[in-house]
Amino acid sequence: MTVVTGFLGSGKTTLLGKVLSEPSMANTAVLVNEFGEVGLDHHLLRRVDERTVLLGSGCVCCTTREDLVGALLELLGLDERGEIPRLDRVVIETTGLADPAPILYTIFTDPVLQHHFSVDLVLTTVDAVNGGLHLDRNPESLKQAAAADKIIVTKTDIAEPDSVRNLLSRLGKINPSAPILEAAFGDVDVDEIFRPGEPGAHAVTGSVLSEPDHLHDVGDTYSVSVTFDGAIDWTAFGIWFSMLLHARGEDVLRVKGLLDVGEAGPVVINGVQHIIHPPGHLDGWPDEDRRSRIVFITKRISPEEILGSLEAFRELLGARPVPLGTEHSVSLP
Amino acid sequence: MCVLCGQDFVAQVHWTDRHIEDRARASGPGDPVEYQRDRRRDRGHRTALTNEVLRHYGLRVEDWGGSKYVLRDGKGRTELVQHLGALWPAAAKLAGTTLDPLDTDFIEALSAAHKDHGR
């Protein structure tokens, strides 16, 4: 299952139209929030109204999208009864103002859906012309950029080269874990988009762009990449991280990485706010580098706080945290 | 929850509990005794590590029959929780404060405790 999110008018539907015309995407069902002006011609198109049910705990990201549950169960029924061609993939297009976390929460926690669907990719489209403005003004935009596994910058053909460059650099700072693809006229390499990257291969680049330039200001959002000087205790990490999510979950926009837990392969950790993908234990490392690498994208939590807390937990974790590269936000005068 | 055995019917597997389940599934229908032993050992380890954190708030956690955890405070109040995700809110209720790993007082206390331990 792929979640496509993106700011208003950033070209989600254009992108989907292009993607769905590929023969390899024939057995894909699409759930959209609204039928846009760009008509999508697809036999498995369903419209869902955003209906969210706020659970007792009251935090916004842990809400269930009842509309999605209904639509996905219906698709599942059709597939199982053989009334539609075999279903390979479901693409969910969100509205421009949607926070992607509830969609993930819905799929991971629904008693039926969690056994039939998994989310392999969150795509976020950002338009090169207005993207910067959206990031400045809409907290949702920031959440969408942070939640992305891949970011697609659209309309690069009609934007100023300078503003494209600034936007790319800024997105790289907000979410260093997501590869950024450019798409002019919705023209993208479908294979490249849907090819699931090597798990965590892009998790941390180590040398993140570091021009001390106020143009790259990302407000009170920080990202920090951390490694450890040895294998860590997975149970201890679980204790630290679940405690952090309990206390500051809404400020932890994104966590992604590979952790060396002293086994043959690493543990893949991927989380959006309170919502943690079921961590996968891999049989082997994707490349030569066998160090843990994990990136935290946070709001109002500085890299020093994360590192200081991990340092205090080092006895329990069994290894000491080492920053790979920190990004500081610069306040505008 | 079943009123007879106290077990939840559809237990949501918390992400911190996944690896034991995954390992059991990956190795196929293995030895159930070994699986239980693995699981117990994991729960014991988690309980011990969690207590290192909880004692700074005057709380303790124990494994409860291998299915849940019992959280206790110094006054004898208890809370029954399923997993770590539910533990922290229950601990906050008993401690009267949010347990925050970024809290500087807590970080100081934890670091000092480990220093003493190291000597």
**Tens digit of each residue's pLDDT (9 = 90 or more) over A105-153:** 888 888 888 888 888 888 898 888 888 888 888 778 888 888 888 898 8
**Tens digit of each residue's pLDDT (9 = 90 or more) over A69-105:** 888 888 888 888 887 777 788 888 877 677 788 888 8
| Domain end call among A197, A228, A251 | A197
Determine the pLDDT at residue B32: 75
Distance CA A116, CA A170 (A): 36
Determine the pLDDT at residue A332: 29
CATH of the domain at A164: 3.40.50.300
- Asked if A144 and A285 sit in the same domain, the reply is no
Check residues A9 and B30 and name the one with the higher pLDDT: A9
* B46 CB within 8 Å of a chain A CB: yes
- Asked if A9 and A40 sit in the same domain, the reply is yes
Residue A131 lies inside a defined structural domain of this protein: yes
Q: Look at the block and give the residue holding tokens 């490349």.
A: A287
* B93 CB within 8 Å of a chain A CB: no
Going by DSSP bridges, is the β-strand pair A28-32/A89-93 parallel, antiparallel, or unpaired?
Answer: parallel
Stretch A36-59: mean pLDDT: 52
Residues in chain A, overall count = 333
CA angle A264, A270, A273 (to 5 degrees): 150
Determine the pLDDT at residue A47: 57
- Asked if A37 and A176 sit in the same domain, the reply is yes
- Asked if A117 and A87 sit in the same domain, the reply is yes
Distance CA B79, CA B81 (A): 6
Determine the pLDDT at residue A56: 45
- Asked if A236 and A307 sit in the same domain, the reply is yes
Going by DSSP bridges, is the β-strand pair A280-281/A52-54 parallel, antiparallel, or unpaired?
Answer: unpaired
Determine the pLDDT at residue A34: 56
Determine the pLDDT at residue A250: 84
Residue A94 lies inside a defined structural domain of this protein: yes
Burial A79-97 (b: 16+ CB within 10 A, else e): beeeeeeebebbbbbbebe
Does A239 contact B50 at a Cβ distance shorter than 8 Å? Answer: yes
- Provide the 3-class DSSP secondary structure of residue A144: helix
CB neighbour list of residue B14: distance below 8 Å, 6 or more residues apart? A242, B82, B83, B84, B85, B86
- Asked if A160 and A271 sit in the same domain, the reply is no
Task: Provide the β-strand partners of residue A140.
Answer: none
**Tens digit of each residue's pLDDT (9 = 90 or more) over B29-47:** 667 787 788 888 889 999 9
The closest alpha carbon to A304, from A207, A220, A205, A224, belongs to A224
Tokens representing residue A93 in the block: 């297009």
Residue A88 lies inside a defined structural domain of this protein: yes
**Chain A residues near residue B45 by CB distance under 8 angstroms:** 235
Determine the pLDDT at residue A105: 84
**Quick one: closest CA in A to B51, which residue?**
A239
Residue A202 lies inside a defined structural domain of this protein: no
Domain count, chain A: 2
User: Which residue in B39, B49, B55 has the most chain A C-beta atoms within 10 A of its own C-beta, making it the best mutation to test that interface?
Assistant: B49
Question: Residue A306 pLDDT > 70, yes or no?
Answer: yes
Check residues A262 and A42 and name the one with the higher pLDDT: A262
Determine the pLDDT at residue B101: 96
**Quick one: closest CA in A to B46, which residue?**
A235
Q: Give the model's confidence band at B3: pLDDT under 50 very low, under 70 low, under 90 confident, else very high.
A: low
- Amino acid B72 reads R
H/E stretch holding B53 reads: helix B32-54
**Tens digit of each residue's pLDDT (9 = 90 or more) over B79-91:** 999 889 899 999 9
Does A235 contact B46 at a Cβ distance shorter than 8 Å? Answer: yes
CATH of the domain at A236: 3.30.1220.10
**Chain B residues near residue A115 by CB distance under 8 angstroms:** none
- Asked if A49 and A152 sit in the same domain, the reply is yes
**Lowest pLDDT segment from A18-22, A167-171, A197-201, A291-295:** A197-201
Nearest to A312 among B22, B111, B118 (CB): B111
Determine the pLDDT at residue A330: 34
Does A312 contact B107 at a Cβ distance shorter than 8 Å? Answer: yes
Residue B19: other Cβ atoms inside 10 A: 21
- Distances A290 to A31, A57, A195, A262, A268 between C-alpha atoms, Å: 39, 39, 23, 10, 13
- Asked if A55 and A149 sit in the same domain, the reply is yes
ipTM comes to 0.89
**Tens digit of each residue's pLDDT (9 = 90 or more) over A270-295:** 888 878 888 888 888 888 888 898 98
- Distances A61 to A66, A99, A102, A136 between C-alpha atoms, Å: 14, 8, 5, 21
Nearest to A239 among B15, B49, B111 (CB): B49
CB neighbour list of residue A194: distance below 8 Å, 6 or more residues apart? A2, A19, A25, A121
Distance CA A18, CA A92 (A): 15
- Asked if A45 and A95 sit in the same domain, the reply is yes
| Domain end call among A162, A197, A232 | A197
User: Which residue in A246, A270, A298 has the most chain B C-beta atoms within 10 A of its own C-beta, making it the best mutation to test that interface?
Assistant: A246
Does B88 contact A242 at a Cβ distance shorter than 8 Å? Answer: yes
Residue A54 lies inside a defined structural domain of this protein: yes
Q: Give the model's confidence band at A161: pLDDT under 50 very low, under 70 low, under 90 confident, else very high.
A: confident
| Domain end call among A168, A197, A226 | A197
Does A276 contact B15 at a Cβ distance shorter than 8 Å? Answer: yes
- Asked if A51 and A137 sit in the same domain, the reply is yes
Determine the pLDDT at residue B93: 94
What share of chain A in percent tops pLDDT 90?
A: 15
- Asked if A138 and A232 sit in the same domain, the reply is no
* B18 CB within 8 Å of a chain A CB: yes
- Asked if A46 and A176 sit in the same domain, the reply is yes
**Chain B residues near residue A306 by CB distance under 8 angstroms:** 102
**Tens digit of each residue's pLDDT (9 = 90 or more) over A213-247:** 333 345 678 888 899 999 999 999 999 999 999 99
Determine the pLDDT at residue B5: 58
Whole-number average pLDDT of chain A: 78
Determine the pLDDT at residue A260: 93
Parent domain of A111? 2-197
Does B98 contact A247 at a Cβ distance shorter than 8 Å? Answer: yes
